[in-house]
Amino acid sequence: MPRALTYQRPDSVDAAITLLTGDGHRPLAGGTVLNADDDPTLVSMVDLQSCGLETILATDGRLRLGAMATLADLAEDERVPTGLAEAARAELPSTLRSLATVGGTVVAGGPDSVLLAALLVHDSRVQVVGPDGVTTVMLPELQDLGVPVGHLITAVDIDPTGSCIRHATARTPADVPIVSATARTSDDGVRLALTGVANHPVLVDPSDPTSGLTPSDDFRGSASYRLRLAAVLATRALAATGEVA
Ligand SMILES: Cc1cc2nc3c(=O)[nH]c(=O)nc-3n(C[C@H](O)[C@H](O)[C@H](O)COP(=O)(O)OP(=O)(O)OC[C@H]3O[C@@H](n4cnc5c(N)ncnc54)[C@H](O)[C@@H]3O)c2cc1C
């Protein structure tokens, strides 16, 4: 753990929030990013594993995923919708799935995260706690604003109805998709999320999925290739849910 200047393991959310007010203090969840990062900046780590945040709870027609629930927990819990569980399985290899958490994925999940795309179409609301109390933020808003310093994600609430379907293109079946489209139909209508076309997974308009998108080029695909893939994959994902693009 070369980045750890200090390490503390509080036993409650309140104690963690108090520690996080200190300079250079950061939450440590599964550590798959924080411990592995090349960034040499020293960090005072506040380990969340004893704060009681690992529970998955069905409540008021929604499913509350504790921030410290691991991707392996999501993949194995029968209450988690099939498509979301499958996205958790696809996100990382099994050794990392048992470490990486829901909260860490929301904060660190990159542009290719199929799990974040699945959370987006399941209408995720993120519970954030800080010295000023508890707030609930829609996931797209949190992606834009980030988690304020000194604050913690404690849970992600999803609408567990309906199951999402993903269509994706990757260099090999085992690779992270270059672009993916995840669709879900529920009583509220259809939702569609894309990966690989922006700096984080995005919810898009199902009737015009690529409108306003400006993907970056990289060695896996040019911007125009990504846009073309996004349009084709969106059509397939929507067709699979019974919707027509
Ligand atoms: C080999 C490898 C492959 C990967 N592949 C992918 C991939 O395909 N797609 C992808 O999206 N990601 C990938 N990742 C990145 C990473 O595994 C995931 O984003 C992971 O889910 C992070 O979760 P964690 O619990 O390990 O977070 P940590 O490393 O513990 O934390 C990550 C960040 O989130 C903050 N944080 C953690 N929990 C909270 C919380 N509850 N509240 C506030 N802040 C918090 C930490 O302070 C830190 O800044 C990969 C990582 C590795 C090492």
Span 122-181, pLDDT tens digits? 999 999 999 999 999 999 999 999 999 999 999 999 999 998 999 999 999 889 999 999
Strand positions, DSSP E, the chain: 4-8, 25-28, 43-47, 56-59, 62-66, 125-130, 133-138, 152-158, 165-169, 179-186, 189-195, 202-204
- The amino acid sitting at 181 is A
Output the residue whose Cα is nearest ligand 1's atom 23. 104
CA of 162 to the centre of ligand 1 (A): 27
Share above pLDDT 90 across residues of the chain, in percent, rounded to a whole number: 88
Q: Which residues line ligand 1 (CB under 6 A)?
A: 26-34, 36, 48, 67, 91-92, 96, 99-101, 103-105, 107-110, 112-113, 147, 152-153, 176
pLDDT(45) > 80: yes
CA of 171 to the centre of ligand 1 (A): 23
Closest ligand 1 atom to Cα of 28: 30
CA of 207 to the centre of ligand 1 (A): 32
pLDDT at 197: 98
Q: Are 185 and 222 in contact (CB under 8 A)?
A: no
pLDDT tens-digit readout, 179-227? 999 999 998 899 999 999 999 999 999 999 999 999 999 999 999 999 9
pLDDT at 37: 75
- Helix, strand, or coil here: 220? coil
Domains of the chain, each with CATH number or no CATH: 4-47 (3.30.43), 56-158 (3.30.465.10), 165-240 (3.30.390.50)
If one counts every other C-beta atom within 10 angstroms of the C-beta of residue 57, the result is 13
pLDDT(1) > 60: no
pLDDT at 39: 82
CA of 172 to the centre of ligand 1 (A): 23
Please tell me the pTM assigned to this model: 0.95
CA of 230 to the centre of ligand 1 (A): 25
Q: Are 177 and 195 in contact (CB under 8 A)?
A: yes
Per the prediction, the chain carries an average pLDDT of: 95
User: For a substitution probing ligand 1, which of 21, 28, 33, 200 has the most ligand atoms within 8 Å of its CB?
Assistant: 33
Query: What six digits make up the tokens of 23?
Result: 């300079």
User: Band of the pLDDT at 40, cuts 50, 70, 90?
Assistant: confident
Closest ligand 1 atom to Cα of 151: 43
Cα–Cα distance for residue pair 194/203, rounded to 1 Å: 7
User: Band of the pLDDT at 41, cuts 50, 70, 90?
Assistant: confident
CA of 110 to the centre of ligand 1 (A): 9
